[in-house]
Amino acid sequence: MKKPLKKDYRGPKREEEPFKINDQIHASQIRLVGENVENGVVSFKEAMDIAKEQQLDLVLISDKAEPYICRVVDYSKFKYDFKKKQKELKAKTSKTILKEIRFGPNTDDHDFNFKVKHAEKFLAEGSKVKAYVHFAGRTIVYKDRGEQLLNRFIEALANHGKPEAPVKMEGKRMILFLNPAQIKK
What pLDDT, on the 0 to 100 scale, is given for residue 64? Answer: 81
DSSP, res 184 = P
What pLDDT, on the 0 to 100 scale, is given for residue 5? Answer: 60
Buried b (16+ CB within 10 A) or exposed e, 37-60: beeeebebeebbebbeeeebbbbb
Q: Is the pTM of this model over 0.85?
A: no
Which of these, 131, 173, 178, lies nearest to 150 by C-alpha position? 131
Provide the CB-side half-sphere exposure for 131 (13 A, CA). 34
For the chain, which residues score pLDDT lower than 50? 184-185
What pLDDT, on the 0 to 100 scale, is given for residue 185? Answer: 42
Complete domains list, the chain, with CATH: 22-90 (3.10.20.80), 98-180 (3.30.110.10)
Task: Judge contact between 65 and 31, C-beta under 8 A.
Answer: yes
What pLDDT, on the 0 to 100 scale, is given for residue 1? Answer: 62
Q: Give, in order, the Cα–Cα distances in Å from 77 to each of 56, 57, 87, 96.
A: 11, 11, 15, 33
Q: Using one digit for the tens of pLDDT, what is the confidence trace for 41-57?
A: 888 888 888 888 888 88
